[in-house]
A and B are shown apart, each in its own frame.
Chain A
Amino acid sequence: MNKLTKKIKGLKKTTKVDFATYLGVILAFVLFSVLRDAGVLNRSITGMLVPICAYIVMAVSLNLTVGILGELSLGHAGFMSVGAFSGVIASQSLQAAIPSAPARLAIAILVGAVFAAIAGTIVGIPVLRLQGDYLAIVTLAFGEIIKELINCLLVGYDSNGLHMAFNLDGSLTINDIGMEPGGMAIIKGAQGATGTETIASFTAGFILIMITLVIVLNLVRSRAGRAIMALRDNRIAAESVGINVTKYKMMAFVTSAALAGAAGALYGLNYSNLAASKFSFDTSILVLVYVVLGGLGNMWGSIIAAAVLYFLPEALRQFADFRMLVYAIVLILVMLATNSEQLKTLAGRVLPKRKGAAHNG
């Protein structure tokens, strides 16, 4: 035991934080699983477990773009949307081929990640070559474009395979895409995905969070992650030590988009009906709020912020109409509290081991 404590003490601070993050997620999963099985949690809370997992993955992945790479992305919900609908299509059309729900869910999440990564590449190639806030503008537009495109997308599946059409002038319906009479409608334009078999589970959400954390944290502590953070801190200096700017910006952004797609697939397969309007600009901003309140570059902060702030509007239900007002006030108070010098000084006194906590700002 003594040996173990010594070994833990010898670890680097960042390694300790990483391990604590993994441990915290595992403990939270075990706790909520036990509580749910014991019947302590009410239905509205158990229903929130999967979306919370999806939003945690969203927050961690957006933190990779905003906190680690230092580029502002305002269309993260767009990637989530791409992942959600491609995941739903994959899952629904593989229903017969792969009866096992967990296997189908894994494939759907993978498909969602791949399609979101492709979307991320298409957005990233022209934009990440530029300097400045162009990524924010283009991702903002991307989120809106994706929403409108999916709003007129018609997808069905029958024994001949997938049928797809874009209902651009509003004249087509799900019956006009050439399906056999017994075919299954997957996405019905503005109605979105309907009749989806809900195969997402809390366990799958937990596994996805763990995979996301492994990818993001290991990436950050590797050669590539250091290059990405170097670009954030000082682009000119990073170039001067031979770092390929576009390559590493793309790497971070596409990874971030792929993880958002995976989160989207998990989220999409949790509801039998899902419209594209769910993934609007508001959702992108919501995730950005989780990231900023959790702390830029701070992954466990993102996890806690996403979990608490997703749950908060539910907990504030007793305020009825004033719910969102109270929500906003809570956000402001959290922001003030985490930025207060006095509180930091206090933390520095209470926790003497936190070197420089009092004066570093």
Chain B
Amino acid sequence: MAEKKFEKGKMVPVPSHSIIPERDLDKSPILECSHLGIDFGGLTAVNEFNITVGRTEIAGLIGPNGAGKTTVFNLLTKVYQPTRGTILLDGLDTHGKTPAQINRMGIARTFQNIRLFNNLSVEDNVKIGLHNQEKYSMFSGILRLPKYWRQEKAAHERALELLSIFDMQDLADHQAGSLPYGAQRRLEIVRALATNPSLLLLDEPAAGMNPSETAELMENIVKIRDTFQIAIMLIEHDMSLVMGICEGICVLNFGQIIAKGTAEEIQSNPTVIEAYLGKQQ
């Protein structure tokens, strides 16, 4: 939807293990991880993580508790620096980048345990997401030059527009920390979207939501993908959501990918069933 703030790197050929939907096949993938891994001391938390995500794909990352799903997100956003392997975002190597730089390159994320700016208003939370799209200096801000008024007005309108995705524009003046749980999760998604990402990582977006809220969230995730034309990768335990909207699913267990494929393929995969339910006697 919007112009890229960074140069495109060389095109990466789509590898054979990809689960990219057909419509994205003629374009280079947005994300490509190869041999990604991290050790904490002697413990290998994630190993040989290879995945390719298409430009407008909704990808799912599932697995039992402690499988390393959130660690993968933390590796992608450089909260942890990987011990091994490479991450290419839109063909660009992300080696040695900080989390803030990764966001500017185009990855935005939400958190499993909600991390909002609790003391600030809902609108300000979204405006902080718009931080790198507003371009006026500290001095224009202090002296309130015309540039400040112009850009603040634009940011205000953009914030309300983004909040309207989840019908939250009426909550704009509320304090973020006082919102109900579901609304806090939605606000986190809006804040992530405000940073103009090309890949959106959602860490358990439906946690704590009731079935009707989950159904609404599913619709909204697809709507976000369609309107913004971005890739979405999500971690979720709610199988109705994962199987309902994810085009490619990747199953992780003990830090290793044990299966990759479409929803049908995953559901009938014996290794996956064993990982979740144990070996049949």
Contacts and interface: CB of A to CB of B under 8 A. Distances in A.
B138 A219 contact: yes
B55 to A, nearest CB: 21
Contacts of B108: 240-241
A239 B100 CA distance: 5
B131 A243 contact: yes
Interface stretch (B40-48, B63-71, B114-122): B114-122
A233 B100 contact: no
A34 interface: no
Contact of A241 (B101, B128, B152): B128
B138 A236 contact: no
Interface string A233-274: 110111111111100000100000000000000000000000
A219 B142 contact: yes
A223 B120 contact: no
A224 B138 contact: yes
A293 B229 CA distance: 50
A222 B142 contact: yes
B132 interface: yes
Nearest to A216: B142
Given A233-B119, A243-B100, A226 B131 contact: yes
A227 B131 contact: yes
A134 to B, nearest CB: 19
B100 A245 contact: yes
A225 interface: yes
Contacts of B100: 239-240, 242-245
Contacts of B178: 356, 360
B184 to A, nearest CB: 12
B120 A241 contact: no
Contact of B148 (A222, A232, A356): A222
A292 interface: no
A153 to B, nearest CB: 33
Contact of B131 (A12, A242, A356): A242
Given A240-B109, A241-B195, A243-B131, A233 B141 contact: no
Contacts of B52: none
Listed residue (A234, A245, A356) with the most chain B CB atoms within 10 angstroms of its CB: A234
A214 interface: yes
A241 B129 contact: yes
Interface in B116-140: 116-120, 124, 127-129, 131-132, 134, 136, 138
A238 B79 CA distance: 12
A229 B142 contact: no
Nearest to A220: B141
Contact of A236 (B79, B142, B192): B79
A214 B142 contact: yes
B76 to A, nearest CB: 11
B103 interface: yes
B56 interface: no
Nearest to A242: B103
A233 B124 CA distance: 12
Contacts of A360: 178
Listed residue (A225, A241, A244) with the most chain B CB atoms within 10 angstroms of its CB: A241
B10 interface: no
Interface residues of A, number: 32
Interface string B179-219: 00000000000011011000000000000000000000000
A230 interface: yes
Contacts of B77: 240
Nearest to B195: A241
Contacts of B152: 222
Given A218-B141, A244-B100, A251-B138, A226 B127 contact: yes
A234 B115 contact: yes
A230 B141 CA distance: 17
A233 B114 CA distance: 12
A220 to B, nearest CB: 10
Given A233-B118, A240-B108, A223 B103 contact: no
B141 A219 contact: yes
Nearest to B142: A218
A335 interface: no
Contact of B132 (A219, A224, A236, A242): A242
A241 B141 contact: no
A305 to B, nearest CB: 20
Contacts of A297: 119
Nearest to A13: B173
A238 B141 CA distance: 20
A215 interface: yes
Interface in A182-236: 214-215, 218-219, 221-227, 229-230, 232-234, 236
B5 to A, nearest CB: 10
B116 A223 contact: no
Contacts of A214: 142
Nearest to A251: B138
Contacts of A232: 119
A229 B120 contact: yes
Interface string A344-361: 000000000000100010
A240 B201 CA distance: 11
Nearest to B101: A242
B99 interface: yes
When A and B form their complex, which 6 residue pairs have the shortest distance between CB atoms, in order from nearest?
A222-B141, A242-B103, A237-B115, A233-B117, A239-B99, A230-B128
20 contacts: A13-B173, A218-B142, A219-B138, A222-B141, A223-B134, A223-B136, A223-B141, A225-B141, A226-B124, A229-B120, A236-B79, A236-B115, A237-B117, A239-B98, A240-B99, A240-B109, A241-B131, A241-B195, A242-B104, A242-B132
Interface of A: 12-13, 214-215, 218-219, 221-227, 229-230, 232-234, 236-245, 251, 297, 356, 360
